[in-house]
Amino acid sequence: MTPAPIAVALDAPDLETAAQWAALVTPHVSTVKVGLELYLRYGPDVIASVRGASGVAVFLDLKLHDIPNTVAGASRAVARLRPSILTVHAAGGPAMIRAAVEAAPHTRIAAVTILTSLSESDLGRIGIAGPADDAVRRLSALSVEAGATALVCSPNEVSAVRAEVGDGITLITPGVRPKGTDAQDQMRVATPEQALADGADLLVIGRPITAAPDPGAAAAAIAASLRRAS
């Protein structure tokens, strides 16, 4: 059975828990995601621990954002860990994105557009011209022109982004919540079925799976619901 197009966010308190979650969900999902906190706490060892013997795809979500030379160096440093996906902030600009792409040629560089925790009013306060749909489309076009082959956007914008960049770009959507679960700190959310129907390629799901009594069973249930909807 083909694993579901889900990246499980392994936002665990320690390395052992992250590795355990990864082992439980790997039969059901295509990807596991290592975020900034876990990577800063344990360093490169975390990648081998969560990848395990399965060889599951690892999404390294560091959201690099600095001058191009620094981002190039950071991308080169983590490329040796063979992550399938590495994130950078689209707001870093085209030269920075291009530097990451050139420094990690065997890793898919995903540009993060607008964080799903930001509301429309937040965008205005930090100086980003809205509405969110327009800002995301602008950043998406800029990123693809700079060589990014994946984009991170909320489910609310995925349809517009797909129309903007076409079919050759991988669209990754955080803010995905199965029906009946709490949105928590995410502002712009959708169900897994709706996000895929709108054009997403990879769904980032964390707490609805990892906070469940049995993360493996929760991952299997969401994967089954996606198969039924397809």
Which of 45, 61, 179, 198 does the annotation list as catalytic? 61
- Kindly report the CA angle at 36 between 34 and 38, in degrees rounded to 5? 60
Q: Which two tokens stand for residue 35?
A: 């975020």
* Residue 24 marked in a binding site: no
Q: Is 66 a catalytic residue?
A: yes
CB neighbours of residue 145 within 10 Å: 12
Which of 66, 122, 134, 201 does the annotation list as catalytic? 66
Which of 45, 63, 179, 182 does the annotation list as catalytic? 63
* Residue 133 marked in a binding site: no
Q: Is 61 a catalytic residue?
A: yes
* Residue 66 marked in a binding site: yes
Burial label, 94 (beta-carbon count in 10 A; 0-12, 13-18, 19+): middle
* Residue 179 marked in a binding site: no
* Residue 68 marked in a binding site: yes
* Residue 61 marked in a binding site: yes
* Residue 62 marked in a binding site: yes
Binding residues for substrate: 11, 33, 61-70, 116, 177, 186, 206-207
Enzyme catalytic residues: 61, 63, 66
Binding residues: 11, 33, 61-70, 116, 177, 186, 206-207
